[in-house]
Amino acid sequence: MIEQGFGRVITAMVTPFKEDGSVNYSEAEKLAAHLVENGSDSLVVCGTTGESPTLTWEEEYELFKVVQTTVKGKKAKIIAGTGSNSTAEAIAATQKAAKLGLDGSLQVVPYYNKPPQEGLYAHFKAIAQACPDIPIMLYNVPGRTGQSIQPETVGELAKINNIVAIKEASGNIENACAIARITPASFKIYSGEDVLTLPLLTVGATGVVSVASHLVGNELQEMIQAFESGNTNLAKEIQLKLYPLFKVIFCTTNPIPIKAALELLGWQVGKLRLPLVELKPELKENLEKIIKELSLI
């Protein structure tokens, strides 16, 4: 199996936009640099949090290049969100990411066409075989895709050399337990939900693909390292302290709240692309209250 080395805290990075709706590449550079200097071991670029459904392939490719250049030499990894519900499209995008020399690819469960488990296995296997030199992280998020990849399917896929990890965002701890039992220790499980990071660590997860790490990356690192070193009381203390933030940044569809939070902190991330819309005033007020309670502003 290819050594993946993505670390503990992986930030699913937002995509900043200008007032005219175009991608703000200069702000993306600044944000990427900030994240890797504040707790992020790796960055997912053009994932769901990066509004990938409304980015063009050309915009995504440019973002990959910009962020790669920015973090070069900082020991951080770049994971390209190159998944699709079209196997051919996912292969083409992943091959381009591999040619750039990116460090990994995030492959979401195909959405809308809702393939059976045999189709999911064939989909991910085809991508892995067509792109043998790039480590692949599977992404299970049935709340968005309408289909869940079952642990048994993950177990079979984990036998493929360059399928090295899974972002488990089903909200079902039992899934993570089952995956951990039937995959080798070299296969890494990441929580796909900030609030479940600590619980999933107890059943063998490595870390988290995080949204909250835009704001509290160092604290998440501290929590995970405390747990790993046996200081479970400190880990629990950090988890409970950050719990209100974990909840409020998912008070409506991601990435609406996290973009609002970043704006409150002074980041020029811009508006969202339709069909996503701005955070409602009452929700933004509560978000600001929790951010202030944590002394983030």
Catalytic hit among 61, 121, 139, 190: 139
CA distance 26 to 268: 10
- In 3-state terms, what secondary structure has residue 211? coil
| 139 is known as an active-site residue | yes
| 75 is known as an active-site residue | no
Catalytic hit among 167, 188, 259, 284: 167
**7: left (phi > 0), else alpha (psi -120 to 50), else beta?**
left
Q: Specify the DSSP element, H or E, that contains 215.
A: helix 213-228
Unique residue bearing structure tokens 């973090």 = 71
The CB-based long-range contact list for 283-288 (8 Å cut-off, 24+ gap) reads 283/251, 283/252, 283/257, 284/260, 286/248, 286/251, 287/248, 287/249, 287/251, 287/257, 287/260, 287/261, 288/264
Unique residue bearing structure tokens 């998944």 = 83
CA distance 77 to 36: 9
**Which residues pair with residue 282 across a beta bridge?**
none
Residues serving a catalytic function are 139, 167
